[in-house]
Structure 1
Amino acid sequence: MDAPLTGTAAGVPFTALPPADGGAAPLIVTWHMLDAPRSDAAFAAALPMHGLPAWRVHLGMPMCGARMVDGSMDAGLELLRRDVLMSALYPFVRQAAEEFPAALASLRAQLPVGDGPIGVLGGSLGGAVTLRILADTDVPVLAGAVVNAAIRVRSVVALFPGDYPYDAESGRAADELDFVARAGALAGRAPLLVVSGEQDHAALRDDARDLVNAVGQGAELQSIPHLAHPLAEEPGIAPAPQLPQARAVDAALTAWFRHRLVDAA
């Protein structure tokens, strides 16, 4: 089993899993969920993708893991209560995407990953970060994948109590994070696997199907039986034993990235 390495990349905490020989290899970067597993270390334990000939580097999302305030999720939860979209979901995705180029450069300086195309992976809100990297940057990507992803942020907002009071600013933010509407920016960018739990929220499952249909060639949908939205048990901050449903996701991702790594070799 690959021993995890921890550190920071341009201020972003990470948990890295090396390839079997610990040497030079391509890079796969991930962003975790706000649901469990909600830290880079916990996401690495849930989806380690052991055996891949690649470095898997799991980045921490804002206000999570090592960036929690006073060691708890209370501050992040307060932002969700204050304004789920404009205080939490949108700025978290924006910050994670904006800090990525510097973090990537730092990872390249710290790890033997070279400067070739990378893989990108995100779960839930981390999926929105992954899709934003694909849609809004020119970082070379060999393959992408998302799991139970926040594909349309309006669908995520609707999961919270009450009717959200959209205005011009929040409407623009929601449009930025509607990747079905922005599928043209994803088409042809890189092969994309969209993993959807069969027991995930119905709206998120619909969005997964709509994204694959909208992107078209190069996008694939894979449903995982018995998988709800989380990939780990609560509290989901520390590494935990891999659940059977997460093992099925892990196997799908490992096969997906292995195939693309072989094609790129």
Structure 2
Amino acid sequence: MRSPITGIAAGVPFTALPPADDGPAPLIVTWHMLDAPRSDAAFAAAVPMNGLPAWRVHLGMPMCGARMVDGTMDAGLELLRKDVLMAALYPILVQATEEFPAALESIRAQLPVGDGPVGVLGGSLGGAVALRILADNDIPVFAGAVVNAAIRMRSVVGLFPGEYPYVAESEKVADSVDFVAQAATLAGRAPLLVVSGELDHPSLRADALDLVNAVGDGTELLSIPELAHALADEPGIEPAPQLPLAREVDAGLTTWFRRHLADAG
């Protein structure tokens, strides 16, 4: 197993895991959770997908990991307290999505990954990033996967204490991040694996089932017994030994992407 490679791609920090031979190979790009593991390095440790003949490049989400303000989570937590949707979740999602094309171009300039279709993977809010790229971006993708994903933004907002004070703008934003409603766009875009912990938040679990049913052919559900939402122990910023349930998720992701690597060209 090769050592991780760290770097910056168009301003986005990344942790890259090379294939066994360290040479040219297809690319899988990931976005981590806001829960643990909440950095690119920690997500790489939780779901490394070792053994895949592919580069796995784990991108850091805005306001997380190396991009935490003053090296702490305090600023991000303050944004969540100020307005969980409009000051935190949605801006992070938008920025992570919008910075991806330039980051991908930079990764291709730095690593021997070629210009073929990529794989995309996201956990929790990072799952919304992966789904948004599938729904709204024309970058070729050979396969996608999400883990305990933010599929409907209203469900995610509902996990936070208190009743969220929706107004016209936030209603529109929340409705725009509903990938069940965008199932027709996702259908046929790329094969999609939806990983759902059987002990994940009930609303997120229901959304996962709804997404699989709505998208239909080419989409599969992988239920992980005893898995709650997080894939790592707190604080989830630094790389940590892989937890047994994360190992199950990792095995499912590895099998999925290996099945579809032939479509990467």
Q: TM-score range by the shorter chain?
A: over 0.9
Whether contact under 8 Å (2:68, 2:75) holds in the other structure is yes
Residue aligned with 1:34, SS: coil
Q: Which stretch shows the higher mean deviation, 209-218 or 163-172?
A: 163-172
Counterparts of 1:147-186 in structure 2, within 5 Å, are 147-186=147-186
Counterparts of 1:44-59 in structure 2, within 5 Å, are 44-59=44-59
1:68 is aligned to 68
2:26 is aligned to 26
1:209 is aligned to 209
1:16 is aligned to 16
CA distance in 2, matches of 1:82, 1:182: 29
Q: Which runs of 4+ in 1 moved over 6 A?
A: none
AA aligned opposite 1:191: P
Q: Cα offset for 1:262?
A: 3.1
CA distance in 2, matches of 1:250, 1:115: 25
C-alpha offsets along residues 73-122 of structure 1, whole Å, 9 cap, x if unaligned? 11001100000000000000000000000000000000000000000000
Q: Cα offset for 1:2?
A: 2.4
Whether contact under 8 Å (2:124, 2:148) holds in the other structure is yes
CA distance in 2, matches of 1:167, 1:199: 32
Q: Cα offset for 1:211?
A: 0.2
2:221 is aligned to 221
Q: Cα offset for 1:264?
A: 4.3
1:194 is aligned to 194
Give the unaligned 5+ runs of structure 2: none
TM-score for both structures, normalised by structure 2: 0.99
2:112 is aligned to 112
1:132 is aligned to 132
CA distance in 2, matches of 1:226, 1:124: 17
AA aligned opposite 2:77: L
Q: Cα offset for 1:263?
A: 4.6
AA aligned opposite 1:233: D
CA distance in 1, matches of 2:138, 2:57: 20
AA aligned opposite 2:82: R
CA distance in 2, matches of 1:263, 1:42: 28
C-alpha offsets along residues 117-138 of structure 1, whole Å, 9 cap, x if unaligned? 0000000000000000000000
CA distance in 2, matches of 1:209, 1:254: 21
1:241 is aligned to 241
AA aligned opposite 2:147: V
AA aligned opposite 2:127: G
Whether contact under 8 Å (2:116, 2:264) holds in the other structure is no
1:250 is aligned to 250
CA distance in 1, matches of 2:256, 2:110: 26
CA distance in 2, matches of 1:162, 1:89: 16
Whether contact under 8 Å (1:2, 1:50) holds in the other structure is no
TM-score for both structures, normalised by structure 1: 0.99
CA distance in 2, matches of 1:40, 1:52: 18
C-alpha offsets along residues 188-232 of structure 1, whole Å, 9 cap, x if unaligned? 000000000011000000000000001011110010011100000
Whether contact under 8 Å (1:122, 1:147) holds in the other structure is yes
Q: Please state if 1:102 is matched with 2:102.
A: yes
Whether contact under 8 Å (1:13, 1:60) holds in the other structure is yes
CA distance in 2, matches of 1:199, 1:206: 11
CA distance in 2, matches of 1:126, 1:222: 18
Identity %: 80
AA aligned opposite 2:251: A
Q: Cα offset for 1:176?
A: 1.5
CA distance in 1, matches of 2:263, 2:65: 34
Q: Cα offset for 1:185?
A: 1.2
Whether contact under 8 Å (2:194, 2:221) holds in the other structure is yes
Residue aligned with 2:71, SS: coil
